[in-house]
Chains A and B, each alone.
Chain A
Amino acid sequence: MEVGLDIKFFQRERRKKEEGGVLIHQLYIVLHVTTARGERGKCEMAPLKYLEQEYPILDSNFQNFCATHGIFSEEDLLLHDLHVLVAFAEQQSTSERLKQGITQVLSIIDGQHQPWLNGMELLEDAQLNKHVLSTGCEGIDLLLQGGLRMGQLTELVGASSSGKTQVCLLATSNVAKKHMGGVVYLDTGNSFSPQRVIDFIRQNSDPAIDQAKHRILQKVMNRILCHSVFDIFTMFDVLHQLELNLRSQIQKGDCQVQLLIVDSMSSLVTPILGGGGSQGHALMTSAGFLLKKLAHEHNLVVLVTNHTVGGEGGISKPALGESWKSIPHVRLRLSHDQGSSIYNVSVFKHPSMASGKAARFTIYD
């Protein structure tokens, strides 16, 4: 949130001052701070002065011309109408060079969005990279036709003690052990229990000598990273750090992160919703899109939990409201039979399955 304030402050300053010269430098500092925290890691919106080093056609003449139209940085160029700019450039004496500069700028803007892909490339990416990870729980795997899919955001909805955290821990242990992938667990309620994960790992393994088992166990547990986050801004920090690590391909040991769990999303988001402003919803959607981006770009499975609230007619519905409803790819509803260890899971929403399909599974103590 402080990012927004900074830009506002400097924009006000800019309007006060006549000259753009000194302020460009200040704006640059602010923008660099924001890009460390900001979402658009790829496109750093640098002022035009700094683009000159890379593209010599954007010389000081061009920059002065842009300054007369109030364009000081890449962001301004994006917001400004380029056809109007071309029309104005024609009236200048150095129109040819200015137009070349504008063409150069257009090609810079072209590099600021994702590349256009065609259907075959998408299909190849989906088939090669987006595998299915099994959760370790047969009921859920059968329901989801194989398990959790990479590149998708899966949400577990359920009332309290309906097994959401258990499923998350089970998935953690399975991914760390069978798929040998890294797991990043964002824990909001101190519910991550290493002992439980070890229990799950031990459940399905063959009996072996203790020495080797201890080493294997250590290796498996080393793949799991648990962060305690208690508010949404810490979560953003952790996710941005993760994104930077993934992008610069820092591998931790022998494993690549395959699973990202946020338990639970609702406890992070609910405090900021409400109050009449739209910042809460914006932050929530922003978090959702960041998770989806991480899932797609880096081939992760993202698992998120949510609790339920009372709806119309006494039927409970998922929390976080309508805005969140369309963000996850897959929504599963969990419930628990009282007193037994049998859980029910049903499909709430799935891109390729009718909702309402259900299955049962058991989690042993």
Chain B
Amino acid sequence: MEKVVGSPREWIDRNESAKTMLARVLTARPLLLLPPLHRVPLRVGNVVELVGTSPSAKTHILIQAAVSCVLPKEWNGVHYGGLDRLVMFIDLDCRFDILRLSKMLKHRINGESNGSLKKIDQEHMDFDLWNNDTKKSPTYDEELYSLCMRRFLFIRCYDSFQFLATLKTLHYRIRKEQELHGISVHILMIDRNLGKLDTSNSRSMSSTSLQLPYREYMPSVWQMILSFEPMTMIARSIFQNGCSHHRVLWINLLSKRPVSSWSHELREDLVCSLGSFLISNMMPIKST
């Protein structure tokens, strides 16, 4: 849109305000994942960890990312801009509220179908969960909503043995879900709050000036080419990161879980076996 500039004044005058420009850019090139994840290297084989104290919206970010992931790119002529994949969520905290996910999904579907630009100020919206959205638009797409809800796979683990059992049978489960839905899993989310850390481990996390005892994991983006590959990718990224605190985190994940009847040796066994489980999966890839 070239315009012959008549006078210097026209050249200096602004074309549009920042708000309109943002609106234009976000519709023309929508973000795949909402802030703050849009700057994060979230691709196959990367483990992203969200760290923060208790009331700092970590689960909220996970839920937002899950909603963006399960929505399809386009449905019935309306553009949703989602990634159209499955999400698996492991809840070690046992505090996940499905109603939040449901409301956020409905909100997003309503927003897109109404054509309004909800993306800009989605995180500033005040969700009042007990009021139905019916006054806004009762005709949101039921079919799409139930399809998306079914793409969200959830499990909660009450102790470390259950978590270990889940991890061991994970790629079998992924394959099964892929056959069932026809699409692959994109993100694996693990939601946990770490309790008080051992002093030996907190040294490795002393880089942050604030006391941040709570951590959350979000490993991500798997390509289901080989059944061994996903695990391998995770392991590789953990050990390639160089900094040992990721490994320490896995250890903390397991040793701080409160199975009250654990002896020290059992805990060590668990840690070593998980570590070796992760490492040994690199073998098939190396041979090819």
A299 to B84, CA, bound (A): 33
Which of B195, B266, B281 has the most chain A CB atoms inside 10 A of its CB? B195
Closest partner residue, chain A, to B173 (CB atom):
A116
Q: Kindly provide the distance from the CB of B106 to the nearest chain A CB, expressed in whole angstroms.
A: 11
Q: Which residues of chain B are within 8 angstroms of A110 by Cβ–Cβ distance? A: 165, 169, 172-173
From DSSP, what is the main secondary structure of chain A's interface residues?
helix
Q: What is the 8 Å Cβ interface bit string for chain B, positions 32-52, against chain A (1 contact, 0 not)? A: 000000000000000000000
Q: Is the CB of A39 within 8 A of B259?
A: yes
Q: Kindly provide the distance from the CB of B214 to the nearest chain A CB, expressed in whole angstroms.
A: 7
Q: Which residues of chain B are within 8 angstroms of A349 by Cβ–Cβ distance? A: 54-55
Q: Kindly provide the distance from the CB of B71 to the nearest chain A CB, expressed in whole angstroms.
A: 13
Q: Is the CB of B262 within 8 A of A4?
A: yes
Q: Does A112 contact B (CB under 8 A)?
A: yes
Q: Kindly provide the distance from the CB of A236 to the nearest chain B CB, expressed in whole angstroms.
A: 8
Q: Which residues of chain B are within 8 angstroms of A326 by Cβ–Cβ distance? A: 54, 93, 95, 193, 214
Q: How large is the interface on B (under 10, 10 to 19, 20 to 34, 35 or more residues)?
A: 35 or more
Q: Is the CB of A285 within 8 A of B195?
A: yes
A83 to B269, CA, bound (A): 17
Q: Is the CB of B165 within 8 A of A119?
A: no
Q: Is the CB of B157 within 8 A of A114?
A: yes
Q: Is the CB of B269 within 8 A of A118?
A: no
A79 to B272, CA, bound (A): 9
Given the known inter-chain contacts A81-B276, A120-B146, please indicate yes or no for A281 contacting B195, CB distance below 8 A.
yes
Given the known inter-chain contacts A83-B280, A84-B276, A285-B258, please indicate yes or no for A119 contacting B154, CB distance below 8 A.
yes
Q: Is the CB of B154 within 8 A of A116?
A: yes
A39 to B100, CA, bound (A): 29
Q: Is the CB of B129 within 8 A of A352?
A: yes
Q: Which residues of chain A are within 8 angstroms of B114 by Cβ–Cβ distance? A: none
Closest partner residue, chain A, to B273 (CB atom):
A79
Q: Does B218 contact A (CB under 8 A)?
A: no
Q: Does B270 contact A (CB under 8 A)?
A: yes
Q: Kindly provide the distance from the CB of A334 to the nearest chain B CB, expressed in whole angstroms.
A: 20
Q: Is the CB of A118 within 8 A of B152?
A: yes
Given the known inter-chain contacts A117-B155, A352-B127, please indicate yes or no for A75 contacting B55, CB distance below 8 A.
no
A60-82 at interface with B (beta carbon < 8 Å)? 75, 78-82
Q: Is the CB of B280 within 8 A of A119?
A: no
Q: Which residues of chain B are within 8 angstroms of A289 by Cβ–Cβ distance? A: 94, 158-159, 258
Which of B94, B130, B149 has the most chain A CB atoms inside 10 A of its CB? B94
Q: List 9 A-B contacts (CB under 8 A).
A: A40-B162, A78-B165, A81-B277, A83-B280, A84-B276, A109-B168, A113-B163, A292-B95, A352-B97
A contact set with B: CB distance below 8 Å: 1, 3-5, 7-8, 11, 34, 37-40, 43, 75, 78-84, 106, 109-110, 112-120, 122-123, 126, 145-146, 236, 278, 281-286, 288-289, 292-293, 296, 321-323, 325-326, 329, 349, 351-352, 355
When A and B form their complex, which 3 residue pairs have the shortest distance between CB atoms, in order from nearest?
Answer: A119-B149, A286-B258, A3-B261
